């Protein structure tokens, strides 16, 4: 957060301003929880807008789901933009109904939203809003494929210098893949977009499967969220009880990994996480490794660092933060 000071404030406590963020997302239950975590933290985060992208389900459904989450949190005032409905180039869209259900947000029974989606395309909004912003004043929090961000950079390369930071849920290295043996879903959906973003020169923090697989939705943690007694707590417990089934069966773990909220938790409380500066490249040609994020974690090449790669997390601190913030919502 920015801190304001000066002669007029010398005798007063520093005034902190919320960090401005744009959420780019493809809800998805874990995306929804990430949105709620951000919306529950207005002292630290000012959510300027939500932009949707095709990913977990098609664009129409991700946009409807984002609207449902905004209304669930009582934040229909936040502008909602629909972005890209397919990956860059000729690649076919890959979706994940097998994890998230036919709607992408199966679990709770949320009403059809009344929020009007903005007329402007989400990519044009990113170009316009970043182009008009003060350099370093806006952080992009991306929870899905990077199609919108890459398309915006292609359209207006100068916006790269205006972005404070890109905090991305995507990629994997030590945990390898979750949609193919080598590739993480968000990157696999649009590897060309991920490649463009990682080569953009923007300060990047990458929350990969290596860290998200450490924050499991155990029965005890879900019980604490359900016991909050508010609508958002009940909805989150229902969402995660649905989506964790696939991962528990797949991995044999005590709960499902909670991917996207790691992005918002990192922005709110980075001391919960540990990582290092590395080079991350995207495999665009491999027969078996297409879409893999190749992380030079041990510095065995001379490729320049282009990302802060997060590998570990205080999982108890993460769930303490999430549960405390969800308690604040309706």
DSSP 118-183: PSS-HHHHHHHHHHTSPTT-EEEEE-S-SHHHHHHHHH-GGGGGGEEEEEEE---STT--SSSSS-
**110-152: per-residue pLDDT in tens?**
999 999 999 999 999 999 999 999 999 999 999 999 999 999 9
Q: What is the pLDDT of residues 256-285, one digit of tens each?
A: 999 999 999 999 999 999 999 999 999 999
Closest to 143 measured CA to CA, from 317, 298, 261, 10: 261
The verdict on whether 305 is a catalytic residue reads no
Going along the chain from its start, the domains and CATH numbers come out as 18-326 (3.90.245.10)
Nearest to 53 by CA among 20, 95, 19: 95
- For residues 40 and 34, what is the distance between their CA atoms, to the nearest angstrom? 10
Laid out side by side, the sheet with 138-142 consists of 80-82, 45-52, 19-25, 138-142, 163-169, 204-207, 307-313, 273-278
Q: What is the pLDDT of residues 178-208, one digit of tens each?
A: 999 999 999 999 999 999 999 999 999 999 9
Which residues fall within 8 angstroms of residue 151, CB to CB, at 6 or more apart?
83, 84, 88, 123, 193
Residue 183: predicted pLDDT = 98
pLDDT tens by residue, 63-88:
999 999 999 999 999 999 999 999 99
pLDDT in the model for residue 90: 84
| Helices and strands (H and E) in the chain: how many | 12, 12
Active-site residue, from 213, 259, 305, 308 = 259
3: tokens are 């801190």
**Residue 43: pLDDT over 50:** yes
Is pLDDT at 8 greater than 50 in this prediction?
A: no
**pLDDT at position 317, please?**
98
8 A C-beta contact, residue 70 and residue 90: no
């Amino acid at each position: 957060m920015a801190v304001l000071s000066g002669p007029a404030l010398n005798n007063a406590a520093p005034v902190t301003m919320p960090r401005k963020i744009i959420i780019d997302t493809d809800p998805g239950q874990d995306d929804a929880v990430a949105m709620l975590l951000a919306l529950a933290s207005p002292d630290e985060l000012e959510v300027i807008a939500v932009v949707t992208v095709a990913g977990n389900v098609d664009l129409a459904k991700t946009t409807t789901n984002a609207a449902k989450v905004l209304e669930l949190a009582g934040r229909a005032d936040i502008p909602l933009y629909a972005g890209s409905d397919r990956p860059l180039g000729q690649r076919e869209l890959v979706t994940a109904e097998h994890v998230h259900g036919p709607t992408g947000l199966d679990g709770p029974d949320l009403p059809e939203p009344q929020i009007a989606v903005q007329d402007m395309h989400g990519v044009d909004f990113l170009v316009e809003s970043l182009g008009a912003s003060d350099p370093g004043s806006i952080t992009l929090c991306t929870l899905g494929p990077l199609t919108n961000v890459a398309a915006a950079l292609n359209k207006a390369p100068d916006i790269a210098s205006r972005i404070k930071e890109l905090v991305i849920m995507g990629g994997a290295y030590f945990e390898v893949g979750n949609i193919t043996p080598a590739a993480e879903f968000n990157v696999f959906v649009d590897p060309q977009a991920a490649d463009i973003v990682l080569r953009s020169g923007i300060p990047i923090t990458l929350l990969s499967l290596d860290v998200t697989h450490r924050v499991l939705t155990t029965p005890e943690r879900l019980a604490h969220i359900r016991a909050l007694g508010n609508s958002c707590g009940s909805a989150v417990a229902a969402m995660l009880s649905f989506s964790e089934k696939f991962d528990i069966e797949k991995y044999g773990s005590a709960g499902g990994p909670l991917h996207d909220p790691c992005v918002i938790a990192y922005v709110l409380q980075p001391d919960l996480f540990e990582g290092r500066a590395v080079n991350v490249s995207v495999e665009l040609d491999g027969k078996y490794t297409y879409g893999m994020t190749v992380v030079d974690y041990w510095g065995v090449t001379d490729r320049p660092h282009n990302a802060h790669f997060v590998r570990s997390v205080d999982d108890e601190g993460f769930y303490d933060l999430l549960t405390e913030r969800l308690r604040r919502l309706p």
